[in-house]
């Protein structure tokens, strides 16, 4: 893994679009541009997948082309319809509309026929070696491969055996079909790769009609070719598969021009893992409540957390597409989230760790409401009336009996401004037997209703509040980094070792201004002075902190410039 990337310069045009431009100029695909997004339905999508989605669907949009969603459903053991449904939902949420939804399993007949055609031409053979032996005999970078004793079978014998594999004559794992390429090829992928294996596993689409399944290498490029994909974009790990991708296609009669594979750098983010396998482990181990836990870097997770899809798209377009792997700071992604929410989120008041304030000179039973601005970034969002009364909740942190130096908030004798309300002065703190402050008695100045004192006197801080008589109760989850290490597992250690045990802090006594009972599921609002918070998708009395207010990315950049 390379260094954390420090540059924020947006790329105007990436190397993949440059290549497409060149192909269009040379007429290679007749000016046609078709991509695909090919997830395996063995888990839900994560933030890394969003990069591939933005790239593939984005290119189709830019070039007036086509981008289909294709499920690479060739491994029935781990796949499930619920993942298929979830992936479709997540892509729609991210803001993309596939031109079609297709499945590699739709092509099982064609893939099978193509395999027979390889066999007939002496380009594939049935091997009786087990998986372990095949792997051993593949050799290494410095050692040549060892030919299988079955490599010399005649096309007739291979055809009979392959049909037997299909028809159930052999046990799982007893035989495989391999391409006959070169056991001494410098690229290990080309040393007679396996094309078909026997698996008696129910497939979510083809049921029990197939017991042999094509491997990735036999299914992927051919699926591209069947669909008339022009540019097959995948992550760098598939670089070494490209010669095999081309070999397979070059040996078949294709219905369209041969697609070309291009690799780009996967998205890595600090303090996060983007691997379905590792994310699945978090779910299976019960560390997360599910794939849609607001702490998960899955698309379902970040949706619950309140990340706007538009901000994710803007981030992906900003970081561009590179040819070498790198890791982006999660703070950069968060700054995109914050920028978007600053523009769109309504401002509201909420107290997370409440401390009771009694305004002793406020007449008992007097009702009042203060006008507050809904979004200073968007005048059209207007204002709202926030009920005010004799008893208020403020944050415990906003009052100190013994203030440290430079503490400008409430302390006995000190006057502060209540946001959209009056100036109040702390007169007396009521403590319990242990000396904890349980209530603060204050007085207010009725002349300061507009947030200014007529005599021009100043206060050094403004704090938020909620009327105790009108407050609604809520549970609020605060989140920290999922992993304490910036590059979990990068040094070869178990990434789970740096899982942050304090990544979630749950506050169950939060008090919200009453208008917050009207939020819609998933709506993100700014709790003034605290951050952006998303109303839970299922439970409206639960909020998730999306991001804090401080732009940590700006600080990181300043530090790097020094």
**CA dist., res. 333 & res. 340, Å (int):** 11
Please pick, among 40, 157, 377, 439, the residue that the annotation labels catalytic.
40
Please select the residue that binds ligand ATP; options are 275, 281, 427, 557, rule is CB under 6 A: 275
**Binding of residue 526 to ligand ATP (CB under 6 A):** no
Q: Which stretch binds ligand ATP (CB under 6 A): 38-46, 320-328, 433-441, 548-556?
A: 38-46
**CA dist., res. 252 & res. 286, Å (int):** 47
**Binding of residue 271 to ligand ATP (CB under 6 A):** no
Burial, 540: exposed, middle or buried (Cβ in 10 Å; 0-12, 13-18, 19+)?
middle
Residue 444's DSSP bridge partners are 424
Q: Which stretch binds ligand ATP (CB under 6 A): 37-45, 367-375, 455-463, 529-537?
A: 37-45
Residues 39-78 that bind ligand ATP (CB under 6 A): 39-40, 48-49, 51-52, 72
- CB-nearer residue toward ligand ATP: 34 or 526: 34
Q: Which stretch binds ligand ATP (CB under 6 A): 34-42, 318-326, 331-339, 526-534?
A: 34-42
**Binding of residue 419 to ligand ATP (CB under 6 A):** no
Other C-beta atoms closer than 10 Å to the C-beta of 43 total 22
- Helix (H, G, I), strand (E, B), or coil: what is residue 212? strand
Q: How far is the CB of 72 from ligand ATP (least distance, A)?
A: 6
Is the CB of residue 151 less than 8 Å from the CB of residue 191? no
Q: How far is the CB of 77 from ligand ATP (least distance, A)?
A: 14
**Binding of residue 534 to ligand ATP (CB under 6 A):** no
Is the CB of residue 94 less than 8 Å from the CB of residue 299? yes
- CB-nearer residue toward ligand ATP: 51 or 390: 51
**CA dist., res. 229 & res. 226, Å (int):** 8
Q: Count residues contacting ligand ATP (CB under 6 A)? A: 16
Provide CB contacts within 8 A for 278, sequence distance 6+.
Answer: 495, 496
- CB-nearer residue toward ligand ATP: 56 or 137: 56
**CA dist., res. 177 & res. 124, Å (int):** 7
**Binding of residue 339 to ligand ATP (CB under 6 A):** no
458 is catalytic: no
Q: How far is the CB of 296 from ligand ATP (least distance, A)?
A: 13
- CB-nearer residue toward ligand ATP: 325 or 443: 325
Is the CB of residue 382 less than 8 Å from the CB of residue 561? no
Find the helix or strand (DSSP H, E) in which 248 lies.
helix 242-250
Q: Which stretch binds ligand ATP (CB under 6 A): 35-43, 154-162, 435-443, 488-496?
A: 35-43
Please pick, among 68, 166, 197, 266, the residue that the annotation labels catalytic.
266
40 is catalytic: yes
Other C-beta atoms closer than 10 Å to the C-beta of 459 total 20
- CA proximity to 266, closest of 307, 296, 300, 237: 237
Q: How far is the CB of 275 from ligand ATP (least distance, A)?
A: 4
Residue 468 CA neighbour count, 13 Å, CB half:
14
Find the helix or strand (DSSP H, E) in which 87 lies.
helix 81-94
Q: Where do we find the tokens 């990735």?
A: 216
Q: Which stretch binds ligand ATP (CB under 6 A): 36-44, 336-344, 360-368, 415-423?
A: 36-44
Q: How far is the CB of 69 from ligand ATP (least distance, A)?
A: 10
Residue with the CB atom nearest ligand ATP in the bound state? 48
Q: Which stretch binds ligand ATP (CB under 6 A): 5-13, 32-40, 89-97, 151-159?
A: 32-40
Please select the residue that binds ligand ATP; options are 267, 312, 463, 478, rule is CB under 6 A: 267
- CB-nearer residue toward ligand ATP: 40 or 157: 40
- CB-nearer residue toward ligand ATP: 54 or 177: 54
Please select the residue that binds ligand ATP; options are 110, 117, 204, 235, rule is CB under 6 A: 235
Q: How far is the CB of 71 from ligand ATP (least distance, A)?
A: 9
- Helix (H, G, I), strand (E, B), or coil: what is residue 188? helix
Residues 71-130 that bind ligand ATP (CB under 6 A): 72
529 Rama class: left (phi>0) / alpha (psi -120 to 50) / beta:
left
- CB-nearer residue toward ligand ATP: 48 or 421: 48
Provide CB contacts within 8 A for 559, sequence distance 6+.
Answer: none
- CA proximity to 360, closest of 425, 418, 412, 421: 425
Q: Which stretch binds ligand ATP (CB under 6 A): 275-283, 367-375, 403-411, 468-476?
A: 275-283
* Strand-strand pairing, 466-467 and 391-395: antiparallel
Whole-number Cα distances in Å, 102 to 61, 163, 227, 409: 19, 26, 9, 60
- CB-nearer residue toward ligand ATP: 150 or 216: 216
Whole-number Cα distances in Å, 541 to 364, 435, 519, 534: 29, 32, 10, 11
DSSP string for 413-459: T-EEEETTS-EEEEEEEEE-TTS-EEEEEEEEEGGGTTSS-TT----
**CA dist., res. 126 & res. 441, Å (int):** 86
Q: How far is the CB of 54 from ligand ATP (least distance, A)?
A: 9
Please select the residue that binds ligand ATP; options are 124, 225, 234, 248, rule is CB under 6 A: 234
**Binding of residue 266 to ligand ATP (CB under 6 A):** yes
136 is catalytic: no
Please select the residue that binds ligand ATP; options are 20, 23, 35, 38, rule is CB under 6 A: 38
Q: How far is the CB of 547 from ligand ATP (least distance, A)?
A: 21
Please pick, among 17, 191, 242, 276, the residue that the annotation labels catalytic.
276
Annotated catalytic residues are 40, 266, 276
- Binding residues (CB under 6 A) for ligand ATP: these are 38-40, 48-49, 51-52, 72, 234-235, 266-267, 274-277
């Amino acid at each position: 893994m390379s260094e954390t990337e420090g540059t924020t310069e947006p790329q105007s045009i990436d190397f993949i679009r440059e290549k497409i431009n060149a192909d269009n100029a040379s007429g290679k695909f007749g000016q046609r541009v078709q991509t695909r997004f090919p997830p395996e339905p063995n888990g839900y999508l994560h933030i890394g997948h969003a990069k591939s989605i933005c790239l593939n669907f984005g290119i189709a949009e830019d070039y007036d082309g086509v981008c289909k969603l294709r499920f690479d459903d060739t491994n029935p053991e781990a796949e499930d319809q619920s993942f298929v449904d979830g992936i479709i939902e997540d892509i729609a949420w991210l803001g993309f509309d596939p031109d079609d939804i297709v499945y590699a399993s739709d092509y099982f007949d064609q893939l099978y026929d193509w395999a027979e055609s390889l066999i007939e031409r002496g380009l594939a053979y049935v091997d009786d070696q087990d998986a372990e032996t095949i792997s051993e005999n593949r050799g290494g970078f410095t050692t040549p491969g060892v030919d299988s004793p079955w490599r010399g079978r005649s096309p007739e014998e291979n055809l009979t055996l392959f049909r037997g594999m299909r028809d159930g004559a052999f046990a799982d794992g007893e035989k495989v079909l391999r391409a006959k390429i070169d056991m001494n090829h410098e690229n290990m992928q080309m040393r007679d790769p396996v094309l078909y294996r026997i698996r008696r596993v129910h497939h979510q689409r083809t049921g029990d009609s197939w017991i042999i399944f094509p491997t990735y290498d036999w299914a992927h490029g051919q699926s591209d070719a069947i669909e008339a994909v022009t540019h097959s974009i995948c992550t760098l790990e598939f670089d070494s598969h490209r010669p095999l991708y081309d070999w397979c296609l070059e040996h078949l009669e294709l219905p369209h021009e041969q697609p070309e594979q291009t690799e780009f750098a996967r998205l890595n983010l600090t303090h996060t893992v983007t691997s379905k396998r590792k994310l699945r482990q978090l779910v299976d181990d019960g560390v997360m409540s599910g794939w849609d836990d607001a702490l998960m870097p899955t698309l379902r997770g970040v949706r619950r957390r309140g990340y706007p899809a538009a901000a994710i798209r803007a981030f992906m377009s900003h970081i561009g597409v590179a040819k070498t792997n790198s890791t982006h700071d999660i703070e950069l992604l968060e700054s995109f989230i914050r920028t978007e929410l600053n523009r769109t989120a309504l401002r509201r008041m909420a107290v997370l760790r409440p401390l009771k304030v009694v305004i002793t000179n406020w007449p008992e039973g007097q009702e009042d409401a203060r006008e507050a601005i809904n979004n200073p970034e968007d005048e059209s969002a207007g204002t709202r009336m926030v009920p005010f009364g004799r008893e208020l909740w403020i944050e415990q942190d906003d009052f100190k009996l013994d203030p440290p130096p430079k503490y400008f908030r409430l302390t006995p004798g000190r006057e502060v401004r209540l946001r959209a309300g009056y100036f109040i002065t702390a007169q007396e703190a009521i403590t319990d037997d242990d000396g904890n402050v349980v209530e603060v008695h204050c007085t207010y100045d009725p002349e300061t209703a507009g947030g200014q004192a007529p005599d021009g006197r100043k206060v050094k801080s403004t704090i938020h509040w909620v009327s105790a008589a009108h407050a609604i109760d809520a549970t609020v989850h605060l989140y920290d980094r999922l992993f304490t290490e910036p590059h979990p597992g990068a040094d070869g250690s178990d990434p789970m070792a740096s899982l942050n045990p304090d990544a979630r802090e749950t506050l169950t006594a939060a008090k919200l201004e009453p208008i917050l009972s009207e939020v819609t599921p998933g709506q993100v609002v700014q709790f003034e002075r605290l951050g952006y918070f998303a109303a839970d998708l299922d439970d409206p009395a639960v909020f998730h902190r999306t991001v804090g207010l401080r732009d940590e990315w700006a600080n990181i950049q300043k530090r790097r410039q020094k």
